[in-house]
Structure 1
Amino acid sequence: MMKIKLDVDKLLDDFFEDACLLGIVAPVKDYQFAWHINQTLGFNFILNHSIEIPLKKKGRDYYFSIYEYLVPGTSLAHYLYNNEDDGEYLLPEFKHLDFLWLTKGEMLSKTELQTLIQSLRLLPSVQLVTEMTNEKIKNKQHLIF
C-alpha cells in the first residue's frame, strides 16, 4: 500500500500566501459583531457552517464559527473567525483576542488594510485591532478550513 505524506508546511504556505490576518478584541457575541460590521461597514458576512473549524481538546469537541464575505466581482474573500468556544481557544497563544479577520484571494494594499483597521476601531464594541504576522502564530494550522 502506498503512503501519501501530507506536507503541512507547504499547505500552510499556500493557504497564507496571499492572506492578511488581523486580531480583534471585541467582547460581544460573534453574530452581534458580524451584524455590526455588516450594518456599519457595508460588508455582508454570513455564517458558513461548512468551513467551521472543529477541534478536539481534552476529550471534548469544540467548534469555532467562521463568517464569510466574498467580495463580488473579485477573488477577495474576508473571513471572521470566532477565537473562543466554551473556554477553549482556536489560537491559544492569543487568548486575549475575541476574533480573527483573515483576507484571502487578493492582497490588500497598505492603504486598504489601514482603512479596514481604522474602520473596525470605530465600531462601538471594538477595543483593539492589530495586524498579525504569520511568524507569531504558533497554531496556524487551526485557521485552515
Structure 2
Amino acid sequence: MKLKLNIDELTEDFFTDTRLLGITATIKNYQFCWQLNHMLGYSFRLNPEIEIHLRKKERSYYFPVYQHEVRNSFLNHYLYRNHCDGEYLLPEFRHMDFLWLIKGDCIEEEHCRQMIQSIKSIGGVQMVAELTNEKIKNKGHLIF
C-alpha cells in the first residue's frame, strides 16, 4: 500500500488564518529586522530550522526566515527574504524584497492597515502591499 501526500491539502491547511505582505525595501535583511525590532517593538530572530531550501537548475538556494512569536497568543510572524543569487522564492513577486507571513490567528483589517503604515515609516521601505492568496502561484515555497 502506497501513501500519497496531498500537497494541495497541506498547502491549504498551512495558509488557514494567514495574511501575506510583500515589502520592497533597499536595505539588508538584518538591518530591516533590526529596525522592525527597535522602531516597532517586534523581536524578529533568524530561525535556521525553518530556512527555505529550493533546488533549481542543479543549484541550491537558501532563503532565510526570521520569526517573531506574539506572547500569550497563537500568532506568529515570519519574514522571508524573497531573493537569493538571482532566484526568487515567489517569482510572481520579483519586485518584492521581503514577504511577511502572519499566521496562527485571525488579524483584524484595521490592525493589518496599521501594521502596513508602521512598516512604511521605516527608512528604506519603498512599498508595502497585502498579497492575496489568489495571486500567489508558488505558495508551496513558503511552507517550512
The 2-side partners of 1:85 and 1:95 are apart by 11
Offset, 1:9? 1.0
Unaligned runs of 5+ in 2: none
What is the percentage of aligned positions where both structures have the same residue?
56
Offset, 1:12? 1.0
The 2-side partners of 1:14 and 1:43 are apart by 26
What is the alpha-carbon root mean square deviation over aligned residues? 0.6
Paired position in structure 2 for 1:38 = 37
The 1-side partners of 2:77 and 2:23 are apart by 14
The 2-side partners of 1:98 and 1:46 are apart by 18
Unaligned runs of 5+ in 1: none
The 2-side partners of 1:119 and 1:24 are apart by 12
SS in structure 2 of the partner of residue 63 of structure 1: strand
**TM-score, with structure 2 as normaliser:** 0.98
In the TM superposition, 1:1-145 aligns within 5 A as 2-145=1-144
The 2-side partners of 1:9 and 1:105 are apart by 19
SS in structure 1 of the partner of residue 10 of structure 2: helix
Hey, which bits of structure 1, 4+ residues long, moved more than 6 A? none
Paired residues, what number? Answer: 144
SS in structure 2 of the partner of residue 113 of structure 1: helix
Per-residue deviation, residues 21-58 of structure 1 (Å, max 9, x unmatched): 00000121111111110010000000000000000011
Amino acid of the structure 2 residue aligned with 1:112: H
The 2-side partners of 1:92 and 1:58 are apart by 15
The 1-side partners of 2:26 and 2:90 are apart by 16
